[in-house]
């Protein structure tokens, strides 16, 4: 991973519920200190390290602690325990509001907000036109923002956040508020940021966005990190937590992390025949791969590929299930058969590699190798291929 830009180690955050917080002296005197204290752990022992240039999707059910985590990373909330370190200028779009004052006009809020982020005024003067243009507010920029709709509000806030040249961009579920055209613009901007090597961490409920855009997905539930890694798996894990991987009304399945496993791969000369593994050039080759699509969890459609590799894992040829005709997203035991009419004139022992990828995202789900699965004895000379050649010897 590139050098960490965001690092949180063992971060926990405890909230005292409002009733126990003595915001009035009266309560403090009447109740006494600590009496009736109800605590709530919004984050528990969270470890997150994000490297430069990563785009991380932070997902989880409502109340999981996503916003709390963003605020802790943004330096707005102090963690009850643990350590947080963030390098560089942080621009954050935290829920609705974005630090605007309703009485001030859009333009005045741009200046105020940029000043809060540490930008000098002349810099803002330079950026203003671009900020206004991107936010699509035009002449409305001189109206008090209290008259803005929530979408317009977010447009302006997002526009500021991306124009202040942040090193780290933290975005809470705000992008959903804008219209589709703007959402697209935002995504284009985020992609531009990705190319520029900026670090982005965003919370969203549109899970497709996570698989499309993110290099990593983190699932938070009940204040804990439940999964951190491949975006597609993160989405799957969340769907499992949410129960949206089952039809509406279906009973909850036991939580079980799954996917697809490769049980076996055999090579035979005849369809369904005994696994011989020994061939001669020109023999028919039947490859049978047995897979299990695991039940009771997020089920993925899989694309199965096999690679026949020589010594040193040099691929010789590969076969793959055609698009849309791979493993269905239905749990069960499956056989995938590949038929090669005539074995090429190979020479020696070959490795059979099986890899199953997610049919939609193309991300690897599982892989397994079977050493010495295929033996082809065509000739006696060294080399992967047995190349027929006519050899003559003459006197020069």
Partner 1 sequence: MSAPAESAPSQDRAALARARAAAQGSIRWELLSQLVRKDLKVKYQGSVLGFVWSLANPLFQLGIYYVIFTKVFTNPAPDFHVYLMAGLLAFGAFNTAVAGASTSVVGNAGLVKKVRFPLLVLPLSGVGFAMVQLGLQMPVLLVIALISGVNFFGPPLLLLVPALALLVLFSTALGVLVAALNVRYRDTSHFVELSMLIWFWLNPILYPAQLVKTAFDRAGLSDWFWLYFLNPMATVVSTFQRAVYQTPTYLDQGVSKDLLVDGGYVYYLRNLAIGFVLAGLLLLFARRTFTRLQADFAEDL
Ligand X SMILES: Nc1ncnc2c1ncn2[C@@H]1O[C@H](COP(=O)(O)OP(=O)(O)O)[C@@H](O)[C@H]1O
Residues that bind partner 1 in the complex, under the rule CB under 8 A: 3, 5, 15, 21-26, 28, 71, 74-78, 86-90, 92, 94-95, 97-101, 103-104, 108, 111-113, 115-118, 120-121, 167
Residues 179/150, Cβ–Cβ less than 8 Å: no
Which entry of ligand X, partner 1, Mg ion, none binds 111, CB below 5 to 8 A by partner kind? partner 1
Strand order in the sheet with 39-51: 39-51, 4-16, 81-86
In the three-class reduction of DSSP (H, G, I as helix; E, B as strand; rest coil), residue 105 is classed as strand
Which entry of ligand X, Mg ion, partner 1, none binds 90, CB below 5 to 8 A by partner kind? partner 1
Which entry of Mg ion, ligand X, partner 1, none binds 380, CB below 5 to 8 A by partner kind? none
Nearest to 205 by CA among 39, 29, 54, 67: 67
For 249, the token pair is: 């009304």
Which entry of ligand X, partner 1, Mg ion, none binds 65, CB below 5 to 8 A by partner kind? ligand X
Kindly state the smallest distance separating residue 120's Cβ from ligand X, in Å. Answer: 33
| DSSP assignments along 190-241, one per residue | HHHHHHTT-EEEEE-S-HHHHHHH-SEEEEEETTEEEEEE-HHHHHHHHHHH
Q: Any idea of the CA torsion for 143, 160, 150, 60, to the nearest 10 degrees?
A: -170
Q: What is the DSSP letter of 290?
A: E
Kindly state the smallest distance separating residue 26's Cβ from Mg ion, in Å. Answer: 32
State the number of binding residues for ligand X (CB under 6 A): 12
d(CA 217, CA 340): 40
d(CA 193, CA 203): 16
CA 7 from centre of chain: 18
Q: What is the DSSP letter of 128?
A: H
Which entry of ligand X, partner 1, Mg ion, none binds 133, CB below 5 to 8 A by partner kind? none
The only residue of 53, 57, 65, 258 in contact with ligand X, by rule CB under 6 A: 65
| DSSP assignments along 51-101, one per residue | ETT-EEEEE-STTSSHHHHHHHHTTSS--SEEEEEE-S-EEEE-TTTTT--
Which entry of Mg ion, partner 1, ligand X, none binds 64, CB below 5 to 8 A by partner kind? ligand X
206 or 361: CB nearest Mg ion: 206
Which entry of ligand X, partner 1, Mg ion, none binds 42, CB below 5 to 8 A by partner kind? ligand X
- The Cα diameter of the chain in Å comes to 116
CA 198, 201, 202, 206 torsion-angle sign: positive
- Residue 62 lies near ligand X (rule: CB under 6 A): yes
Q: Give the contact letters, 6-25, x = binds to ligand X (CB under 6 A), - = no.
A: ---------x-x--------
The piece of 66-74, 185-193, 227-235, 282-290 that touches Mg ion (CB under 5 A) is: 66-74
The only residue of 44, 55, 67, 226 in contact with Mg ion, by rule CB under 5 A: 67
The only residue of 42, 46, 50, 114 in contact with ligand X, by rule CB under 6 A: 42
The only residue of 57, 60, 326, 353 in contact with ligand X, by rule CB under 6 A: 60
d(CA 260, CA 47): 28
101 or 244: CB nearest partner 1: 101
The only residue of 68, 92, 159, 378 in contact with ligand X, by rule CB under 6 A: 68
The piece of 62-70, 230-238, 244-252, 283-291 that touches ligand X (CB under 6 A) is: 62-70
Binding residues (CB under 5 A) for Mg ion: these are 67
Binding residues (CB under 6 A) for ligand X: these are 15, 17, 40, 42, 60, 62-68
């Amino acid at each position: 991973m590139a050098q960490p830009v965001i690092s949180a180690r063992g971060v926990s955050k405890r909230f005292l519920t409002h009733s126990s917080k003595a915001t009035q002296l009266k309560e403090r005197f009447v109740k006494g200190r600590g009496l009736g204290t109800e605590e709530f752990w919004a984050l528990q022992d969270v470890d997150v390290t994000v490297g430069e240039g990563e785009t991380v999707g932070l997902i989880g059910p409502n109340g999981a602690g996503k916003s709390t985590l963003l605020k802790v990373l943004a330096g707005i909330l102090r963690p009850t325990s643990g350590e947080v370190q963030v390098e560089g200028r942080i621009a954050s779009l935290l829920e609705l509001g974005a630090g605007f004052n309703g009485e001030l006009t859009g333009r005045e809020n741009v200046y105020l907000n940029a000043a809060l982020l540490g930008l000098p005024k002349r810099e803002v003067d330079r950026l203003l036109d671009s900020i206004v243009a991107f936010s699509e507010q035009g002449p409305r920029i001189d109206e008090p923002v209290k008259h803005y709709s929530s979408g317009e509000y977010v447009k302006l806030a997002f526009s500021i956040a991306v124009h202040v040249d942040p090193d780290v961009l933290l975005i809470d579920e705000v992008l959903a508020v804008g219209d589709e055209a703007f959402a697209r613009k935002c995504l284009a901007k985020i992609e531009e940021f990705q190319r520029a090597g900026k670090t982005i961490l965003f919370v969203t409920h549109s899970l497709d966005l996570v698989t499309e855009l993110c290099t990593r997905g983190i699932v938070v539930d009940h204040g804990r990190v439940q999964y951190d890694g491949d975006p597609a798996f993160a989405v799957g894990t969340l769907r499992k937590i949410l129960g949206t991987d089952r039809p509406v009304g279906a009973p909850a399945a036991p939580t079980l992390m799954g996917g697809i496993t490769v049980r076996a791969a055999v090579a035979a000369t005849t369809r369904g025949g005994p696994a011989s593994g020994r061939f001669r050039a020109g023999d028919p080759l039947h490859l049978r791969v047995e897979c299990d699509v695991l039940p009771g969890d997020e089920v993925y459609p899989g694309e199965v590929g096999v690679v026949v590799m020589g010594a040193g894992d040099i691929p010789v040829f590969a076969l793959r299930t055609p698009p849309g005709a791979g493993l269905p997203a239905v749990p069960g035991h499956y056989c995938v058969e590949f038929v090669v009419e005539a074995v090429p004139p190979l020479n020696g022992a070959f490795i059979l590699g099986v890899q199953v990828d997610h049919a939609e995202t193309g991300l690897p789900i599982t892989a397994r190798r079977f050493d010495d699965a295929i033996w082809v004895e065509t000739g006696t000379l060294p080399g992967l291929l047995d190349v027929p050649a006519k050899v003559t010897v003459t006197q020069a």
